[in-house]
Amino acid sequence: MREPLTLQGGNGLSEIYIESGLFDRAGVVIGQAFSPSRIHIVTDSNVAPLYLARLESQLAFPVSHTIIPAGEEHKHLATVEDIYHDMLAAGITRKDLVVALGGGVVGDITGFAAATLLRGVSLCQIPTTLLAQVDSSVGGKTGVDLPEGKNLVGAFYQPRLVLIDPKVLSSLPDSTFADGMAEVIKYGYIANKTILSLVAQPNYRDNIEQIIYECVKIKRDVVAIDEHDTGLRMILNFGHTIGHAAEKLGNYTALTHGQAVAIGMAAAMRLSALLGNADLTASLLPLLDHVGLPSTLAYDREAIFDALLADKKKFGGTVNFILVREAGRAEITPIETDRLHAYILKL
Ligand SMILES: NC(=O)c1ccc[n+]([C@@H]2O[C@H](COP(=O)([O-])OP(=O)(O)OC[C@H]3O[C@@H](n4cnc5c(N)ncnc54)[C@H](O)[C@@H]3O)[C@@H](O)[C@H]2O)c1
């Protein structure tokens, strides 16, 4: 088995294993890393019928579970409370283990429950979407949404173990796989252009394990420098600034998150060219199309600007924008809101 990637976080060391077929050895790896009295698994209503019994049957500890309804609309505090009740009813103590088995929604909610119940129970992430494998399961951001906005309540809490098996992606709908590819392409442009060459291959899915490995390495390196998102970690938001604005204008239903990020990356590239940098849209647009993602920003530019300002943290009249000057290198660029307004109108 390949050596795990490691990440030293505020609440301890995180070990990240990436290997095809790993899911069917999860029980062994968990048994080597932990000696809990019991394990509580949290999963969702889509993932449970596919993978829950396969995981439970491998675990040599008393196991309980919570199956939450699938979907972002359930990523709220009431779901966390249900999980707390199930964990306490199962007799979970601080010496035990919580496993998040699912996509980013399950990972974020379960991570938050693990961070807060009894002030912290050990956590293992087993991500089952591409987005969760390359992004949300690594780095320790956990949390839930409020009616006022997404991810407004949360905690930084590193999982002790992350088990990534690309094979579990075979059951994903194509559009959900494509959503994860938006994050993959993001990593390529911000930090490693080898990822872009791998994605450009006709059968890029055959290389998905290597692609995931390269992406996770970038995320690990960025989080190791800026765990609490006060500086460098912002580069992971490439494409997300205009992407979030488009997502919001589509009432979170017209576009998936990955589609919005794809459109946001294309818009950020055009904006970068307007600022005098090399125009990278000629390489980005065909790549997005190749993996089944859109690139056209179909919303009124004034509305995009308004949504962007409402969403973005402004620092004294500027918005921090992530710009890619050459494939594999991103920079955090503050742009004054007046100038940004003029550029957005030209996109
Ligand atoms: N914590 C972080 O750093 C971070 C980073 C990025 C995104 N996020 C969060 O991640 C969430 C999005 O995650 P997501 O895109 O994984 O969405 P998701 O968890 O809703 O999963 C997408 C869909 O796929 C289903 N599914 C999951 N695995 C499957 C499998 N193997 N086979 C078949 N179906 C499967 C799920 O039930 C769901 O219907 C958002 O809430 C976002 O805020 C967090």
The CATH number that applies at residue 185 is 1.20.1090.10
Q: Tell me, yes or no, whether 191 and 217 share the same domain.
A: yes
Q: Output the CA 320–ligand 1 centroid distance in Å.
A: 26
Question: Of 131, 154, 172, which residue constitutes the final position of a domain?
Answer: 172
User: What percent of the chain lies above the pLDDT cut of 90?
Assistant: 94
Q: For a pocket test of ligand 1, which of 55, 79, 105 has the largest count of ligand atoms closer than 8 A to its C-beta?
A: 105
What CATH number is associated with residue 140? 3.40.50.1970
Q: Are residues 204 and 306 in the same domain?
A: yes
Residues 71 and 151 in one domain: yes
DSSP per-residue string spanning 31-58:
HHH---S-EEEEEETTTIIIIIHHHHTT
Report the share of the chain in percent with pLDDT over 70: 98
**pLDDT tens figures, 6-45:** 999 999 999 999 999 999 999 999 999 999 999 999 999 9
Quote the ligand 1 centre to 216 CA distance (angstroms).
16
- Give the end of a domain, one of 156, 172, 188: 172
Ligand 1 centroid–CA 339 distance in Å is 35
Same domain assignment for residues 156 and 228 = no
Residues 202 and 305 in one domain: yes
Question: 22 and 152: one domain?
Answer: yes
Q: Is 320 exposed, middle or buried (0-12, 13-18, 19+ CB in 10 A)?
A: middle
Instruction: Quote the pLDDT of residue 149.
Output: 86
Task: Return the DSSP state at 320.
Answer: E
Average confidence score pLDDT of the chain: 96
Q: Are residues 188 and 330 in the same domain?
A: yes
Q: Which two tokens stand for residue 250?
A: 């589509």
Distances 58 to 52, 55, 314 between C-alpha atoms, Å: 10, 5, 49
Confidence of residue 315 (pLDDT cuts 50, 70, 90): low
156 and 265 part of one domain: no
Task: Provide the number of structural domains found in the chain.
Answer: 2
Structural domain that includes position 126: 5-172
Of 296, 295, 290, 242, nearest to 264 (Cα)?
242
Distance from C-alpha of 158 to C-alpha of 108, rounded to nearest angstrom:
11
Question: What's the pLDDT at 314?
Answer: 60
Q: Tell me if 16 CB under 6 Å of ligand 1.
A: no
